[in-house]
C-alpha cells in the first residue's frame, strides 16, 4: 500500500457510491414504516395497562434495547428461518434483505414504542377530559386531540431515531447486503485505496444525515405551531414536561437517541 493519500480517489469513490444510497434508504424507509406499526402495537398494552401483554411488551422493549443491533441481526438471520420452519413455512429462498429489514424494524419498534409512550404521557389528561366534555368519543378524542399533540412532542425523539437508523444500516453489510458500507468495502479491492473509500463513505453518510436533520427540524417547527400560540415557547414547554417526567424519579431513557 502506498503511504500517500490520493484525494482524487475520494471524489472518484464518492461518485461510485452514490447508487448504493437507494439500498440504504430502502432499509431505512421500510424498517421505519414496519417499526412504527410494531412500536404502536407494543406501546398500546402499556398505555392501557393490559394485564399480561403489558409484561410481554416490557420484556420485548428491554430485550431489543438491551442487546446490540449486530447481535439482533444475526439472531434474526439465523433464528427466524428455524422458527418459521416449525410452522412449516419455508423461507430458504427469501432474499437476505427481508431479514435485514425485519431485524431493523423489530429493533426500531422497541425504541418507537418508548417514544410513543413518552409522547402520549406528556399530553395533559385535561385535554382528553375536555374532549369528552364537548361530546367526543374515545377514538375521536385520541385522534383529534391527543395524537396531534403527541406527534409534535415525539417528533424530536423520532427524528433522532430516523438518523440513528440511517447510521445503523452500516451494519447490514455483515449479512452481505451491498448498501453504502458494503459497496465502500468492495470498491477498493483492486486499487487498495481503502482509506480514501471510507473517507468518501463518511462524507456521504454525513451529508445524508445532515439533509435529513434539516428536513426534520423544519417538520418539527411546523408541528409545534400550536405550542407558541399561548405565549410559551415550544422549548420551554417541552423542558417543563421533561422536568415533570424526571420528578417521578425514573430514568428517562428515550431522551438520547441510540448511538452506534
Binding site for another protein (CB under 8 A): 1, 3-5, 62-63, 65-72, 74-75, 78-79, 82, 163, 167-171, 181, 184-185, 194-195, 198-199, 201-202, 205-206, 209-210, 213, 249, 251-253, 255-256, 258-260
Nearest approach in angstroms of CB 50 to another protein is: 24
* Rounded CA separation 225/207 (Å): 28
Nearer to another protein, 146 or 177 (CB): 177
Q: Concatenate the DSSP letters of all residues of 84-130 into one string.
A: HHHTT---TTS-HHHHHHHHHHHHHHHHHHHHHHHHHHHS-HHHHHH
Nearest approach in angstroms of CB 192 to another protein is: 10
Nearest approach in angstroms of CB 205 to another protein is: 5
Phi and psi for 214 in degrees, rounded to 5?
-60, -50
CB count within 10 Å of CB 18 equals 13
* Rounded CA separation 174/107 (Å): 16
* Rounded CA separation 224/237 (Å): 10
Residue 174, helix vs strand vs coil:
helix
Nearer to another protein, 54 or 209 (CB): 209
Nearer to another protein, 135 or 249 (CB): 249
Taking phi over 0 as left and psi of -120 to 50 as alpha, with beta for the rest, 42 belongs to alpha
Residue with cell 420485548: 60
Residue 175, helix vs strand vs coil:
helix
Amino acid at each position: 500500500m502506498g503511504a500517500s493519500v490520493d484525494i482524487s480517489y475520494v471524489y472518484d469513490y464518492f461518485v461510485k457510491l452514490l447508487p448504493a444510497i437507494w439500498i440504504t434508504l430502502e432499509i431505512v424507509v421500510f424498517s421505519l414504516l414496519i417499526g412504527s406499526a410494531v412500536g404502536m402495537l407494543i406501546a398500546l398494552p402499556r398505555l392501557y395497562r393490559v394485564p399480561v401483554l403489558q409484561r410481554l411488551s416490557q420484556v420485548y422493549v428491554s430485550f431489543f434495547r438491551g442487546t446490540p443491533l449486530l447481535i439482533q441481526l444475526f439472531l434474526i438471520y439465523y433464528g427466524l428461518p428455524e422458527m418459521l420452519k416449525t410452522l412449516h413455512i419455508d423461507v430458504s429462498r427469501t432474499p437476505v434483505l427481508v431479514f435485514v429489514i425485519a431485524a431493523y424494524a423489530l429493533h426500531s419498534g422497541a425504541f418507537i414504542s418508548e417514544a410513543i409512550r413518552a409522547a402520549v404521557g406528556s399530553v395533559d389528561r385535561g385535554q382528553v377530559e375536555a374532549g369528552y366534555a364537548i361530546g367526543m368519543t374515545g377514538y375521536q378524542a385520541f385522534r383529534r386531540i391527543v395524537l396531534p399533540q403527541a406527534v409534535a412532542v415525539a417528533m424530536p425523539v423520532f427524528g433522532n431515531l430516523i438518523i440513528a437508523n440511517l447510521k445503523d444500516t452500516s451494519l447490514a453489510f455483515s449479512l452481505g447486503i451491498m448498501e453504502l458500507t458494503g459497496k465502500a468495502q468492495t470498491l477498493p479491492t483492486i486499487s487498495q485505496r481503502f482509506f480514501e473509500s471510507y473517507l468518501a463513505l463518511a462524507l456521504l453518510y454525513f451529508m445524508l444525515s445532515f439533509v435529513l436533520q434539516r428536513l426534520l427540524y423544519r417538520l418539527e417547527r411546523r408541528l409545534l405551531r400550536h405550542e407558541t400560540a399561548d405565549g410559551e415557547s415550544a422549548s420551554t414547554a417541552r423542558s417543563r414536561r421533561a422536568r415533570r417526567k424526571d420528578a417521578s424519579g425514573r430514568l428517562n431513557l428515550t431522551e438520547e437517541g441510540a448511538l452506534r
